[in-house]
Each structure stands twice: as C-alpha cells, then as structure tokens.
Structure 1
C-alpha cells in the first residue's frame, strides 16, 4: 500500500477515530467523563455528546444526533460505506492521504472514496468533509420510497392522465413523451414505470380509477397465462389458410383482412370486427338482433363494398358458423374468404389482439346490441387515430388514407 510521504499526525492533533476509540476505552476502564476527556485531549462537552448524543434547535427546526457508536438508522448492506469508514476517510484525508491510498486502507474501490468526497463535502469555503454529517446525508438519500417523477411534475402528470383518458396504452404514452419533450429526458418514462404509476396511483398522483383506462381494466396486476381454448365451430370451409396467397404472410401488400366476432352476454349479441393486416386499420360491423350467417352476410357486404377494390383482396376468418355464407360474400364483393385451422387463433393474430383492445369499450358479459352503428364508428375512429409502434408510430387512419388515394 502506498501512503503519502508525510502521513504522521500533526503536533497537537490526533485522528478523530483514534480519539473516540481511546475515550470509550478509558470510560470502560472506570474513568469518569472529566478524566477521560482530559486524557484524550477533548472538552467535557465533546465527550458528553459522544456518549449521549445531542439535540440542536436552529431556525425553528429541531435536529437530534445519535450517540457515537450507536445509530438511529437501521443496519444497511456492507456494500454501503459505514459511519466508522466515513470517519476514517475524514481522518486520512486530513493527513493528506491520496484517494487511492485511502481506498486501499478501507478495502474499497477508489471510485467509491472519490464519489463519497464529491457528494458529501461542503463547498470550498465551508468546513470540508464532515463524516457524521455525510453519513446522515447519505442515509437520507437512500430512504425509500422516493417521490416519483409523476408526483413531482404536474405538467408531466397531466400529459399522462390525458392520454390515459383516451385509453392510450403505457407503451404509446412512453413514445409520445419522447416526441413531446425531446430535449427533456428527465420527463421520459419507461413503460414499466407507467404501469406502476397506474397501479399505484397514491405514489404517482394519478387518479385512483386509472386502471380502468387499461385494456384489461383489472384493479391489480396478475401474471400472464394462456387463455382457454375455445371449442371448434366448423362451418365446412372450402378455402383453408394454407391456400392463401403467399403475399399475405409478409404484410407487404395491403388489402388482406382478418375477421371475427366479439360476443356479448350469454351469446345473445355480437359485433363483427375486421382488421387490415398491413395498416392495422379497424372496421366494426353492427349486427342487429342476431349473429346468424344471414345477418353477417347482410351487414358485412356493404362494409366491404365501401372499401376500394384494391384494398379488399382477402379475408381470413375462424371456422365459425356465422361465416357459412362466405361463398355469397365472395360472389358479391370479389373478396375470397380463407379459414384458420381449429384452435389456432394465432393465425389471425392482428384480429385477436384488436379484439382484446375492443374489450375496453365493449366489456365481456355485457349486451352488445345496445351499441349503435354510430357508436361503433366512433370507437373505430378513436382506435384508428392512435399511433402504433408497429407502424413506426404512424396511425392506421393516416396510412389507409394514403393507400386509398392510390390504385394498384
């Protein structure tokens, strides 16, 4: 270990840690406070403070200091500097030891000692590094939980709350923060941070009902699990997904749709959903009264005919009885229908994901017949105007509008 050339104690001064050790040793041997203080070379007041602690009143504030050798702070991990180590740093620094020499003496990294002195030393015109004050300061910084960014920043909190009110996902909000505050990285939040804020509104300052804005609407988080598989509903399909054009798979060519129904309470009502694979554009089709094949054919044909011909190349559906009249739909609209394999919802992944989104608006076990076509259009427009990560944060409405203005 390398020490400074002159590391002896100056005349008339001794190391604080050595003074404290010697003082308590003499007290244990039977000396009283006056005798021990005189032998160590400190005032009686200092000895009393070391043994009993002290309380100070300054500017109307009361501050209590624990006795030396005891602490009101709970024990901490050994990876943090202890109070005796900080006392040792102060002593060796006063003797002129280098940071590396102090680190070697403590068995710590030089960066630990350097960071300690930089963080907890007063300014050049102040008293310098005070170990007990530094220990209290470090303990205060280590206290948990700390106030969150949302709790401290009203503008940031209002921005997040406004997007949650529009049912934006935490991932969409996280990206929007980087767009809205590009030069303020301290206002950028991770997706997990936003989820924690929603599920712990008391720490973030958000409203207690913030979880209702999430897709699931659950009041508390729970681990993911595999959904129960639905029973097969075979309708004797003629075109299987294996016969679908290869261009559908890579989503490079627009106009290929995935469809399904979301079912209401007791299976008595339903809404047809169509999602375009390339743009993720959503169409909601109102099914009045029932969800029979005839009802679906009558409702879905005009919805498809409203789309430009080059943007309705195919539909992929599950093997549900509601699509039994798919031949008539193809004849009228020129849009072939392909069917997934039984129990294979991932073959219509975009549509399955969108149906989960729609449950924010149309919860399970509710009557879907009460929603008018105008309400369905309103919901579809709101979703189509959200930025999507998979679209490089463009919106489905923007991309479909551009594609609708072109012909193939």
Structure 2
C-alpha cells in the first residue's frame, strides 16, 4: 500500500509541469483531467496547495553539484578511490566532495540519487512571511480587505502612506499568497470573502478569456442613436460628464440602475422601488441629474456633469427620447451583444456585485443604502486613476473641492 502511494505521488510530481501549463492557458480542473487523463484528485494535489498560483520554477544553483557529478562520486567510492582523485576528475575542491559524502551517510551509505533529492530538499529555505513577522502590517491589510479593497489597491495605499517605512509596505502578490497558498497562509481564510472574486483558487487571466461573450436579443428600441454618433471626446475620456449605464438585476424582478462616469469612474446607484419599467428608469435618471451636485457638495449645472449617457439594448431605456427632451442629455446605444463597449460600467457592476449579490432581492435596499455603497466605491483608490479615488478624480476635473 505504501509503495502504491509513493508511486502515485511520483507520477503526480512528474506531470505537475503539464498541469500548470494547462492551468496557465485557462483550463479548469475538469478540463485538465480530460486533457491529461488524470483523476480530479491528482490535479487538486498539484493546484490546491499552491492556491492556484503557479509556483516559480526551481533551478539548480550554478555552483551546486549535479546528479551526474554525484553519480561520479558514488562510482569512485565503490571503486575505493581517494577523495582527491574523485575531486580532481570532477574539477572540484576536495572539501566539496568531502562535505557532500559526510552529509549523506559517509563512504558506505552514500547513494547519488538519494543525495541529490536530499540536496533539493535542503535547498528549500522558506522565508518568514512579511505579514507573519509584522502584526501591525497584517492588521492594516486585513482591515482594508474587509473594506473590499483589492490587494493591488492595498499595496499602492501602503506605498503612499508609509513612504519612509519599508516594513509597512507589501506587494499585492504577497497578499494573495498569504490568502491562497497553504504553506504561506498568514491571513485569516475568511478574508477571501471580501475579494471581488470568491474563488477558492486564484485563476489566471486566460481563464476569463476562454469565456465567450454571446450576443443576446433584448427587443428593439425605437429611434435609438448608435454609439458611433457619440462625441469623440467621450471616447478618449478627455473631459468628464460622459456616463455609462445599465441595470443590476436581482430576484423577484428587483433591479438597481447603475451609472459610471467614464473620465473619473465615479459611481451612482439609483433605487428602483417601482420596478424596472421604462417610466421608472426614466424618472430615476432624471432625479439623479439633480442629486449629483448635492453629493459633490457643490453647486454645478447639468452641462458640467452630464454630457451623454451610453446604454445597452435593454428595453428599460425605450423612453430615451422623452428623457433627452426633458433633460437635454443624449442617450447612445451599444450594438447588441457588445457589452465591452461599455467597459467602465461593466467593470463597475462587477464591483457592485460584492454588495448586491446575484439572486438576492434588491428591493430592501433604500436610496440611502445605495448611496453608502457608492460612497465606498468612490473613495477607493483605483489603479487606472494613478491611485486617486473616483471622487478625487471627478472633483479635480470639475475644479471643485474633494468629496469628504
């Protein structure tokens, strides 16, 4: 039984490289099983302990003895040669050969393969994680994770707030390793629930690329204006005031309207207590035009803040013509099945789902609740904004004071 277990572990280790190659290409565990003809348990044994994070390739040091040299030492000992003879033939110092033999059982017990495996094992010198050695740093990281900051945002915030203290800075990769990798776990496992993606394993970007976006028909909207007619200034995000919108759907027909400003990524969430009809969405959007200046604590006019809105093909915007007449704000529509043309809003909706999960009833969330969620998102630093917050970016672009 023990022999079978040893052989099984050996086979898994030998095929680990193939498993990681397919994992990096975006294959899931089941896909890897089909491609390599391995059991699910075998794949989990490779991917699980590393938390889905591809380990660095181990390489033999340039000055280390090779397996071929160890075999030469073993043959020399079996032939009764002096250590100086063996060392001279290998081009090594005699002390290197002497230490190699002594640390692996001496002349009589020395075996090349066992000595080489022992050397690989001894070469592992796991460093103490920075988060394990610095409780204050670990506490800061845990606090920001609970606020649903991403590890990359946390790493950037630490660099900004502790520029003179390298002990209070950590890379986002170390944070991920402390959450996912079993041998390096230094943060509580429950903190993974605050990450944007709740995967038990960290998936490579190629996994997302394998999921194709299928076109879907959602009915025809009369008199819709195509996205190609939108002003060029909206495309290059040069000025604020161009928004992207959509609905987040919940159970029991509930919904919340979301708006994301292209220049600053500023977010607004609109409650729809009367349903997701075209009339309800039109009224909520019209009300948001007057709410935004109050949220920014500044008296601004609609042309400063609202130049256009881009939507998908949802029927909830079938009254866009009346909305434009009432507010003077044009509405542009993406082609069917191309949501990536509203990429800012799509990404924002993914962030909002941390607070408003799928298949939950969204009706209990009041406008005050939604404003609180939006405030958290708008005061979270963003990589695409050079680590400014959306509130700061929008206020800077409009020349107003930063939102507190």
2:176 paired residue number: 195
Report the CA distance between 1:398 and its aligned residue. Answer: 1.5
Compare CA radii of gyration and give the structure with the larger one.
Answer: 1
Q: Aligned to 1:369, what secondary structure does the other structure show?
A: coil
Report the CA distance between 1:144 and its aligned residue. Answer: 5.8
2:310 paired residue number: 316
Pairing of 1:281-300 with structure 2 (within 5 A) = 281-300=266-285
1:154 paired residue number: 135
Distance 2:327 2:360 in 1: 32
Q: Aligned to 2:225, what secondary structure does the other structure show?
A: coil
Q: Deviations over 1:369-401 (max 9, x none)?
A: 111111100000000001111111111111223
Report the CA distance between 1:360 and its aligned residue. Answer: 0.5
Are the aligned partners of 1:212 and 1:219 in contact in 2 as well (CA < 8 Å)?
A: no
Q: 1:332 aligns with which of 326, 337, 340?
A: 326
Report the CA distance between 1:169 and its aligned residue. Answer: 0.6
Distance 1:180 1:198 in 2: 23
**TM-score where L is the length of structure 2:** 0.65
Pairing of 1:195-344 with structure 2 (within 5 A) = 195-200=176-181, 203-222=184-203, 223-224=207-208, 225-226=210-211, 228-229=213-214, 231-233=216-218, 234-265=220-251, 268-307=253-292, 308=300, 309=302, 310-344=304-338
Q: Aligned to 2:350, what secondary structure does the other structure show?
A: helix
Q: Aligned to 1:209, what secondary structure does the other structure show?
A: helix
**TM-score where L is the length of structure 1:** 0.65
Distance 1:133 1:392 in 2: 56
* More contact order relative to length (CA 8 Å, sep ≥ 6): 2
Are 2:160 and 1:166 aligned? Answer: no
1:45 paired residue number: none
Q: Aligned to 1:283, what secondary structure does the other structure show?
A: strand
Distance 1:400 1:134 in 2: 65
Q: Aligned to 1:346, what secondary structure does the other structure show?
A: helix
Change in CA separation of 1:239 and 1:106 when aligned onto 2, cut-off 3 Å: same
Q: Deviations over 1:6-52 (max 9, x none)?
A: xxxxxxxxxxxxxxxxxxxxxxxxxxxxxxxxxxxxxxxxxxxxxxx
Report the CA distance between 1:131 and its aligned residue. Answer: 7.4
Q: Aligned to 1:371, what secondary structure does the other structure show?
A: coil
Distance 1:301 1:104 in 2: 88
Distance 2:313 2:224 in 1: 11
Q: Deviations over 1:342-382 (max 9, x none)?
A: 11111100000000011100111111111111110000000
Report the CA distance between 1:180 and its aligned residue. Answer: 3.1
Number of residues of Structure 1 aligned to a counterpart in Structure 2: 299
RMSD over aligned Cα, in angstroms? 3.4
Q: Aligned to 1:315, what secondary structure does the other structure show?
A: strand
Distance 1:165 1:298 in 2: 35
Change in CA separation of 1:344 and 1:183 when aligned onto 2, cut-off 3 Å: same
- Is there any run of 5+ residues in structure 1 with no aligned partner, and where? 1-75, 89-102, 118-128
